[in-house]
Amino acid sequence: MPITRLKIQVLLGVLLLALPASATDIIPCAVGNRWEYDTVKLLRASVVHQGKVLSAMRETSSGKSVYEIVSEDAKASPVVYDYRETNYLWPTGGGKGDTNTTQLRITTGEDGLRIISTHQERSGEDKPETQTYDPPLLYFSKLAEAGKSWDVGTMRDGETRNPISARGAGRETVTVPAGTFRNCLKVVYSGDQISGVVEMWDKQFTITSGRSRGIYWIAEGVGVVKELEVSTSTSETPGPDGKQVVVEAASCTVSELRPGYVVKK
């Protein structure tokens, strides 16, 4: 039962949904706004049966992430924006890379930024994943600026569910390739009650535990200048002998803003 990058990425996919946490007065939404990041990702996983590790992998990838506002529906009230994130990652040891795209419908209002829907396309998967949220997820709240917490809502990916909470965590100075940004708003996203099933090797694995953390540093008038995302999960399914086959997986991703970002307003 060899481990492949695709299988583990599918398993961890619901744990983190990267999106610049933004509000009208923190990251402006305007068609043409574009942010590019240097991205590094560490992925590891193991398959365990009766206490023995049957297969294991550890892989580091690097590349870039591009976030952009591609269009808007100005007739909607409030205005709805089409936002796209594309990640290009290649294994540092060589091999085929991955290109994963997430398209979102987002809107901003008096309480913050909300996600209306998501559409994800992953390398190696034939079927895109689409989710619509009613009511929309409150991905970013203006409560963050006061250091308070809020419920984002439950993110979905296939047959998995991840209730997310978030909180403002003060302000810090951050240095990235695009420069040094002072007084950045720090926001922490947490998910500790992940549930559902994922398919690997033509079998249904039940998620028995999983946690996710996303930390974003936001510079006013610029947007997210740095991201740190960590997720872990354990899932299992009965093996041929009736005893559980367990998959333990974890990932860590760091993205830092490059020079040349475009923010029109």
| Cis upstream peptide for 136 (omega within 30°) | no
* Residue 246 pLDDT: 92
Alpha carbon distance 5, 199 (integer Å):
14
Q: Which pLDDT value is given to residue 187?
A: 95
Integer distance in angstroms from the first to the last C-alpha of the chain? 51
What is the per-residue pLDDT for 148? 94
Whether residue 246 lies inside any domain: the answer is yes
What is the value of pTM for the model shown?
Answer: 0.87
Residue 112 covered by a domain: yes
Residue 262: inside a domain:
no
Residue 32 zone, left/alpha/beta (φ > 0; ψ -120 to 50; rest): left
- At residue 262, φ and ψ (nearest 5 deg) are -120, 120
Per-residue pLDDT at 27: 55
pLDDT at residue number 241: 87
Domain membership flag for residue 120: yes
Per-residue model confidence (pLDDT) at position 259: 97
Q: Which domain holds residue 105?
A: 5-254
Paired sense of beta strands 160-176 and 129-141, if any? unpaired
Would residue 75 count as lying in a domain? yes
Rounded to 5°, angle at Cα 257 from 149 and 12: 60
Q: Tell me whether residue 131 is in a domain.
A: yes
Q: pLDDT value at position 157? A: 85
Strand partners, 177: none
Q: What's the CA gap between 122 and 38, in Å, rounded?
A: 19
- Residue 193 within a domain: yes
How many structural domains comprise the chain? Answer: 1
Q: Is residue 38 in a domain?
A: yes
Residue-by-residue pLDDT tens, the chain, 265 positions: 555 554 545 455 544 444 433 333 445 689 999 999 999 999 999 999 988 998 898 999 999 999 999 999 999 988 999 999 999 999 998 888 889 999 999 998 888 899 999 999 987 677 788 999 999 999 999 899 899 999 999 999 888 889 999 999 999 999 999 999 999 999 999 999 888 888 887 888 889 999 999 999 999 889 899 999 999 999 999 988 888 999 999 999 999 999 999 998 6
pLDDT at 3: 52
- In which residue are the tokens 């079998």 written? 203
